[in-house]
A and B are shown apart, each in its own frame.
Chain A
Amino acid sequence: MIPVGEVIGTWIAVGLTLMMFSFIYKDNPAFKFGEHLYLGISVGYYVNIQYWSTIYPLVFQQMQQNHNYWVLIPTLLGIFILLRIIPSLSWLSRMSFALYIGGFAGYSLPLIVHSLLLPQLSQTLQPYGGGVGPVINQIIILLAVFSTLIYFFFSLEHRKTVGVISRVGIVFIMVSFGASFGYTVMARISLLIGRFQFIIDSFRGQ
Chain B
Amino acid sequence: MDFVTLILNLDRKIIFGCVALLVVWPLLVPIQMPIGTTPEVRSIFSAIDALPNGSDVMIAADYDPSSKPELQPFTYSLLAHCFEKDHKVHILTLWPGGPALIQQAIEEVGAQYGKSSGTDYCFLGYKPGNAAVVGGLTNSITGTYPTDFYNRPTANMPIYQRVQRVKDCDYIVDIAAGATVEVWIAFASAPENVPMSAACTAVSAAGYYPYYQAGQLDGISGGMKGSAEYDVLLMDKYPNFKNGGARIAGNAVKGMDAQSAVHLFIVLSIILANICYFIANKRQREERRNA
Contacts and interface: CB of A to CB of B under 8 A. Distances in A.
Interface of A: 24-25, 45-46, 49-50, 53-54, 57, 104, 107-108, 111-112, 114-116, 119-120, 122-123, 141, 176, 179-180, 183-187, 189-197, 200
26 contacts: A46-B96, A49-B99, A53-B125, A53-B128, A57-B147, A111-B187, A112-B186, A123-B214, A123-B215, A179-B206, A180-B206, A186-B223, A186-B259, A187-B202, A189-B19, A189-B259, A190-B224, A192-B20, A192-B262, A193-B69, A193-B224, A195-B69, A196-B258, A197-B254, A197-B255, A200-B28
B24 A115 contact: no
B251 A50 contact: no
B223 A196 contact: no
Contacts of B36: none
A151 to B, nearest CB: 17
A187 B70 CA distance: 7
Contacts of A108: 131, 186-187
B124 to A, nearest CB: 11
Contacts of A176: 206
B90 interface: no
A24 B266 contact: no
B23 A193 contact: yes
B222 interface: yes
Given A176-B206, A186-B223, A187-B201, A50 B23 contact: no
B27 A196 contact: yes
Given A53-B128, A197-B251, A183 B205 contact: yes
B191 A114 contact: yes
Interface string B116-133: 000000000111100100
B180 interface: no
Interface of B: 13, 16, 19-20, 23-24, 27-28, 66, 68-70, 96-97, 99, 125-128, 131, 135, 147, 182, 185-187, 189-191, 201-203, 205-207, 210-211, 213-216, 222-225, 251, 254-255, 258-259, 262-263, 266
Contacts of B190: 111, 114-116, 119
Contacts of B28: 200
B214 to A, nearest CB: 4
B258 A193 contact: yes
B223 A190 contact: yes
Nearest to B131: A108
A80 B207 CA distance: 36
Contacts of A187: 70, 201-203, 223
A77 B190 CA distance: 32
Contacts of A183: 202-203, 205-206, 222-223
Contacts of A122: 214
B255 A123 contact: no
Nearest to A196: B23
Contacts of B191: 111, 114-115
B177 to A, nearest CB: 10
A104 to B, nearest CB: 7
A132 B13 CA distance: 49
A116 B205 CA distance: 17
Contacts of A194: 68-70, 255
B206 to A, nearest CB: 5
Nearest to A46: B96
Nearest to A180: B206
Contacts of A196: 20, 23-24, 27, 258
Contacts of A116: 182, 185-186, 190
Contacts of A186: 202, 222-225, 259, 263
B70 A190 contact: yes
Contacts of B96: 46, 49-50, 53
A53 B140 CA distance: 18
A50 B202 contact: no
Most chain A beta carbons < 10 A, residue from B128, B203, B213: B203
Contact of A123 (B213, B222, B224, B258): B213
A200 B255 CA distance: 12
A115 B215 CA distance: 12
Contacts of A195: 69
